[in-house]
Amino acid sequence: MNRIALSGIKPTGIPHLGNYLGMIRPALDLAKDYRAFYFIADAHALNQLRDPAELDRLIFEVAATLLALGLDPEKVTFFRQSDIAEIFELAIILAAATPKGLLNRAHAYKAAVDANLAAGRDGDAGINMGLFTYPILMAADILLFGSHAVPVGEDQRQHIEIAQDIAQAFNRAYGEVLTVPRAVIGETIADIPGTDGRKMSKSYGNIIPIFAPPEELLKHITGMVTDSRPPERPKDPEQDNLFRLYRFFAASAETETMREKYLHGGIGYGEVKKMLFDVLERTFGEARGRYEKYIGDRPFLEGVLRYGAVKARAVGAPMLANVRKAVGIRSY
Ligand code: ADP
Ligand code: TRP
């Protein structure tokens, strides 16, 4: 139980099934065997959001979501990134040990530059330093707590690799001060498809929110893209969004029955949609009730996050003191 798991979720949109399967569920599972630190990465969200009221609302939506899904704030240290000043100080110290080339190669930055160049703009047009140094802040999140395991979705793999590189560069210069973390990425849950078949993502507008009310959930599912084959024609289940999502929530016997029906014909997409709706209701119906209770009680949520911040700083402050000492900055 001394090993540490840590992960963060950006409050940039309402949490969706991709977040749940890719990060939230594995993180909550890991919390059974690890000492877990999970947090709301609001400083990272600043790179994307420009509306303070929206950021404020999303922070509480994410907090309510995690609690409703079973995060126990007594067992997990659950906090808001911006409450931990030590993270930001560590980020500045780490920046001094981070080769710029490492960040030039980061996917998110490179993709933004490539998009600019493809559109005939200056490579850095509209790119802020927060995006460029995003991996340093993320490394600070991870390294401040001596994390061993970082449960995330596949798209975060490179960020963890950069955190490893930064920790190693720091340790080479100053001795074994920082723990080198490893990513924990579920093999089967690489990329959860959205309603249009592409990776489910806020940025594609193809999400299914975890706690959409039943009518809205049904609307999302009804709108899912399928081909137009009639029920009696055999279909390849692996090529179909509905099946690819269904199997994550159905029992294995249910998934096998469904797979057979696809392969041999005899089930139409309308019926599959109904069954997908039912398994999602079964999975999240009860938790949605808890979500609604929490989201209506901000003082409670604020209390939970502040309690988590006190616990997080108790671990982070001594680590930062070690780092300051290692680099030759006095602690006060
Ligand atoms: P989004 O792509 O919607 O902006 P985030 O980048 O905030 O989502 O992701 C939060 C966490 O959820 C990350 O660990 C990420 O890897 C995971 N995640 C997001 N979308 C998916 C998906 N479609 N499949 C699997 N994991 C995902
Ligand atoms: N970058 C992560 C994402 O977009 C969120 C995040 C911030 C994070 N800091 C972290 C994840 C530290 C794991 C560990 O999803």
**pLDDT of 83-125, one tens digit each?**
999 999 999 999 999 999 999 999 999 999 999 999 999 999 9
Give the model's pLDDT for residue 22. 87
The residue whose CB lies within 8 Å of the most ligand 2 atoms, and thus the one to mutate among 20, 37, 44, is 44
Q: How many Å apart are CA 61 and CA 41, to the nearest integer?
A: 13
Residue 191 has pLDDT above 90, yes or no: no
Ligand 1 centroid – CA 22 distance (Å): 6
Rounded mean pLDDT of the chain? 95
Ligand 1 centroid – CA 108 distance (Å): 13
Give the model's pLDDT for residue 301. 98
Give the model's pLDDT for residue 100. 97
Q: Quick one: which atom of ligand 2 is closest to the CA of 151?
A: 13
**pLDDT of 15-40, one tens digit each?**
999 999 989 999 999 999 999 999 99
Q: What is the mean pLDDT of residues 197-212?
A: 94
Give the model's pLDDT for residue 188. 58
Give the model's pLDDT for residue 190. 59
Ligand 2 centroid – CA 173 distance (Å): 26
Which residue's CA is the nearest one to ligand 1's atom 25?
Answer: 22
Q: What is the mean pLDDT of residues 306-320?
A: 98
Give the model's pLDDT for residue 1. 67
Which residue's CA is the nearest one to ligand 2's atom 7?
Answer: 8
Give the model's pLDDT for residue 2. 87
CB proximity list for 136: less than 8 A, separation 6 or greater: 91, 94, 95, 98, 103, 166
The residue whose CB lies within 8 Å of the most ligand 2 atoms, and thus the one to mutate among 4, 6, 10, 47, is 10
For tokens 């001394």, name the residue: 2
246, 267 Cβ separation under 8 angstroms: no
Quote the pTM value: 0.95
Report residue 207 as tokens.
């999400």
Helix (H) or strand (E) holding 222: helix 214-222
Straight-line distance from the first to the last Cα atom of the chain, in angstroms, rounded to the nearest whole number: 32
The residue whose CB lies within 8 Å of the most ligand 2 atoms, and thus the one to mutate among 7, 38, 58, 203, is 7
Domains and CATH numbers, the chain: 4-191+297-327 (3.40.50.620), 211-292 (1.10.240.10)
